[in-house]
């Protein structure tokens, strides 16, 4: 009984949050921008919610179990990897054969530098590196980075055979990467991340700083709808057990219109908006026009002055 009480309390809090949200104007969101004091930008901090960090520490032993509680995340690679590959290197720009394989002799991402933010155990970073990309995976949960690093070491022979460079991993925040690598990456990935961070719009600002002009941002996240509450939280966590209980906080889910507006404010041009649906029986994801639960967004760092981050008003002494 004692072990079930925290679960019940969390579910009740989620229900109450859902009820409160339905009475609010959900279109209001804070605006973040690259700030300038003299000639140096003052970047927002990329902070991880302490409760979220606790959740992901519990995944340390299961990151690479393709049949465990993170099975849907592994399965999502069948959509995520081709989306990233074909967006960065469109099929018409190469004469190499294109098939459903995510690895092999074909290395279309050779020469591309990719930043995987919130990389976890590296289950997305590795397939991208096998396609030839130079991948830096970052996460503020050290246990996740330890798992990712250990998996690269366990598969060292495979990396040697392919001649590819494995991903590099660091326990570091996106704000530190933005200072170290401004305008460096061809692509930044935030997959299943924004719904777990405290200030997701500041992450978009930092991603803009890290990207080269014309670089691409890839996001997958969850919509904030009644359907996503019922399917993404109640059914997925408490009824079907697709993902561990407490993985998601519905109140942190993001409507596509809010996300696209924030992208524009932070110097991006939204490109693609795609829905994703998961079949629990076949463990397969597929693209859909329905955005009610899971969705993906791609965006391009723009050179359009109207869409670039604008300098803010003068900050007070306690403002960042």
Q: Which residues are annotated as a binding site for Mg(2+)?
A: 192, 195-196
Distance CA 301, CA 292 (A): 26
User: Residue 183, by phi and psi: left (phi above 0), alpha (psi -120 to 50) or beta?
Assistant: left
Residue 30 C-beta-side C-alpha neighbours within 13 Å:
12
Pair of tokens at residue 248: 């998601």
Binding-site annotation: residue ranges for S-adenosyl-L-methionine? 80, 118, 139, 191
Binding-site annotation: residue ranges? 80, 118, 139, 191-192, 195-196
């Amino acid at each position: 009984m004692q072990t079930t009480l925290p679960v019940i309390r969390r579910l009740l809090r989620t229900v109450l949050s859902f009820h409160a949200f339905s009475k609010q104007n959900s279109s209001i969101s804070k605006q973040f921008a690259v700030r300038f004091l003299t000639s140096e930008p003052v970047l927002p901090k990329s902070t991880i919610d302490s409760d979220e960090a606790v959740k992901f520490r519990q995944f340390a032993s299961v990151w690479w179990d393709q049949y465990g509680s993170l099975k849907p995340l592994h399965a999502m690679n069948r959509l995520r990897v081709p989306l990233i590959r074909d967006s960065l290197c469109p099929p018409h720009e190469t004469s190499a054969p294109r098939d459903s394989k995510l690895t092999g002799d074909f290395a279309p991402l050779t020469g591309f530098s990719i930043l995987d933010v919130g990389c976890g155990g590296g289950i997305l970073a590795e397939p991208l590196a096998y396609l030839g990309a130079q991948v830096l995976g970052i996460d503020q949960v050290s246990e996740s980075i330890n798992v990712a690093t250990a998996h690269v070491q366990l598969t060292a022979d495979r990396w040697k055979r392919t001649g590819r460079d494995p991903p590099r991993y660091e326990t570091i925040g996106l704000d530190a990467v933005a200072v170290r690598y401004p305008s460096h990456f061809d692509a930044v990935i935030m997959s299943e991340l924004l719904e777990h961070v405290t200030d997701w719009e500041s992450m978009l600002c930092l991603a803009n700083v890290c990207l080269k002009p014309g670089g691409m941002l890839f996001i997958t996240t969850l919509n904030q709808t009644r359907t996503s509450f019922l399917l993404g939280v109640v059914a997925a966590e408490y009824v079907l057990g697709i993902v561990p209980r407490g993985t998601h906080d519905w109140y942190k889910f993001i409507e596509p219109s809010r996300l696209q507006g924030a992208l524009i404010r932070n110097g991006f041009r939204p490109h693609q908006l795609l829905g994703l649906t998961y079949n629990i029986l076949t463990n397969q994801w597929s693209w859909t026009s329905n955005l009610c639960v899971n969705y993906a967004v791609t965006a391009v760092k723009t050179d359009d002055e109207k869409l670039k981050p604008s300098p803010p008003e003068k900050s007070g002494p306690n403002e960042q």
